[in-house]
Structure 1
Amino acid sequence: MKVRKLQQKRGWAWHLAVPIVKPALLATTTHEWTGGERIPATGGCILVLNHISHVDPLTAAHIVWDHGRVPRYLAKSGLFRNRALGFFLRAAGQIPVERLSVNAIGAYDAAVAAVRAGECVVVYPEGTITRDPGGWPMTGKSGAARIALATGCPVIPIGQWGAQELLAPYATRPDLFPRKRIRMLVGDPVDLDDLLAVEATPPVVQQATDRIMAAIVTLVEQIRGETAPAERFDMRRAGVRETGNPHRHDPGEAPA
């Protein structure tokens, strides 16, 4: 794998985080990255991934960083409520999202501005760790599609697998040894050209969302060597809570 040199200014938060996080990942994981050269070296873009573990933003940041980009995540607002952590995350350029709230529009505006400024924005279209019993991608939310249609930027799908072995969904302790294999497959940009030429009505946004999720699912199928269910898991239809640990019923727990 050819590693690109970072071209962007990274700021103090990244100077602090990278020397801590990267050695920890190298000590606890190995990686199999394919297609990393498809991550644009410069210019505004959106990277879209399936979400399988609380630790996969770190393993995803690893491939993005090593291909010369500083990732800006759309991250749940609960992480920013701790003053110290919130200060650090904002310094690192992360964007808080108040999920299931009308205030989510603020995150959309910030993401659009970041893309237009030439930055690399990372989005998990499912909005939370998958609830699918087999770990497959669920139905997607519209955020990534709306950002893409507003900016015309490339949308790069990434399928990933393995982070859930390092930290199982909603587990409190990681399984550090033996080292876990993190596999990531970066696909070609999702073709949205025809949708960019028309008004971004709800049906158009849904078409874009469906194409984005289909691209991610195809990559995950290739990584796993399996076929995904014909119908993607839908939390609302299944009556599964959309935030927090779906296996707990404590109304006071922090969203996840």
Structure 2
Amino acid sequence: MRDLLYPPVIGFAKTAFKVLDLKFRMTGTEHIPRSGGAVLALNHISYVDFVIGGFGAQPSKRLVRFMAKEVLFRNRYSGPLMRGMHHIPVDRGAGAGSYREALRYLKEGEIIGVFPEATISRSFELKEFKSGTVRMAAATGVPVIPMVLWGTQRMMTKDHPRDFSRHQNVSISVGEPIKVSRGDDATEATAQLRTSMAGLLDEAIRAYPEQPPGAWWLPASYGGGAPTPEDAERLDQEELRNRAARRKE
């Protein structure tokens, strides 16, 4: 697969990180294979998770092909970038084609980036996972690599103004690969993946250098001001209802 656009985009991102003086804490990146296919499973707390998650694969010199909602591919600005970097558009109403494309990429030795929660978590804790992540890995015989991001929600997330001020702390934590076979129960394998990522997330939050009580970007269960998972689910449902109402207008 020819990559004329991806390398300069990475170069631009790295320059932006230096300008912003982001303070990265990266652990476990050696678990990302230097060759061969893999499914990279990431938590989703920010609109910049694609960029930061892809950066986490750089120590292994790998490019990540993310599965992303197809509206990004139709946008006049993001569309050429998404297509040029060979990411995979996902139509949530008809996802079979996207799934087949992801399988093809994995068989060709690519790393596919997937957000098992599907949407951004307003609570900044893990939501329920979709099983497609482990099913793709099982179908192609590749490992699932858990990755957890923390701090990205402070830059750009739902319900809060963007903040790209300098000197922010960002952590990227990668866990040990999870092997999944065709005969494995997808529900159990998904639960195993979620448990692994929950442990990584807890460690990332506790190791984060800033822990201000009541901070909006800190989960309620850690003394922060973020919505509880239950309140976050209520907000998600309200957002879906409002979106459906706008479509009918």
TM range (shorter): 0.7 to 0.9
Query: Does 2:77 correspond to 1:88?
Result: no
Partner of 2:99: 108
Query: Does 2:117 correspond to 1:126?
Result: yes
Q: Check conservation: 2:41, 2:146, Cα contact below 8 A.
A: yes
Tell me which of 10, 13, 16 is aligned to 2:8. 16
Per-residue deviation, residues 156-213 of structure 1 (Å, max 9, x unmatched): 1012211011223354x53122321111111101243xxx252x6xxx2211211111
Partner of 2:108: 117
Identity in percent = 30
Q: TM-score, normalised by structure 1?
A: 0.79
Measure, in 1, the Cα distance between the counterparts of 2:12 and 2:173: 25
Q: Which structure 2 residue ranges, 5 or more long, are not aligned?
A: 208-218, 222-227
Partner of 1:4: none
Measure, in 2, the Cα distance between the counterparts of 1:27 and 1:253: 39
Question: 1:41-60 counterparts in 2 under 5 A?
Answer: 41-60=34-53
Tell me which of 173, 178, 181 is aligned to 2:166. 178
Query: Does 2:152 correspond to 1:159?
Result: no
Summarize the Cα distance change of 1:114–1:170 in structure 2 as closer, same or farther, 3 Å threshold: farther
Partner of 2:195: 214
Summarize the Cα distance change of 1:62–1:119 in structure 2 as closer, same or farther, 3 Å threshold: same
Q: TM-score, normalised by structure 2?
A: 0.81
SS of the equivalent of 2:5 reads: helix
Summarize the Cα distance change of 1:197–1:119 in structure 2 as closer, same or farther, 3 Å threshold: closer
Query: Does 2:176 correspond to 1:188?
Result: yes
Q: Which runs of 4+ in 1 moved over 4 A?
A: 226-229, 232-236, 250-254
What amino acid is aligned across from residue 9 of structure 2 in structure 1? A
CA RMSD for the aligned pairs? Answer: 2.9
Aligned residues: 229
Query: Does 2:70 correspond to 1:77?
Result: yes
Q: Check conservation: 1:185, 1:223, Cα contact below 8 A.
A: yes
